[in-house]
Amino acid sequence: CQAACTNFGGLITCRLVIGLAEAGLLPGILFYLGFWYRNFEYATRVGIVHSSFSIAGAFSGLLAAGIANLHGTLSAWRWISIL
């Protein structure tokens, strides 16, 4: 969606739609974890979920740096949006 945008208004609209779709991700994950695990197991699983978000954030910078050094027909920000 973002990689296909050609102007600023389209990019803002796309980001708004993505933000609305992702807004319930973490509450939804925690809600469903509550169904599957007992109370004493729940805290460990929530810690794993939060740790995985932190690890993903750490590697996304490395991935973006690698993509920024690619030489192709698309801009680096478009490749990041595709991936």
- Its domain, for residue 33, covers 2-82
pLDDT at residue 81, as a whole number: 78
List phi, psi (to 5°) of 7. -140, 170
Q: Give the global pTM.
A: 0.66
pLDDT at residue 32, as a whole number: 92
Q: Please identify every stretch of the chain with a pLDDT value under 70, giving residue numbers as ranges.
A: none
pLDDT at residue 68, as a whole number: 85
The string of pLDDT tens digits covering residues 40-60 is 899 999 999 999 999 999 998
How many domains would you assign to the chain? 1
Query: Where is 63: in which H helix or E strand?
Result: helix 39-68
Say which residues have a Cβ less than 8 Å from residue 8's Cβ, sequence separation at least 6.
Answer: none
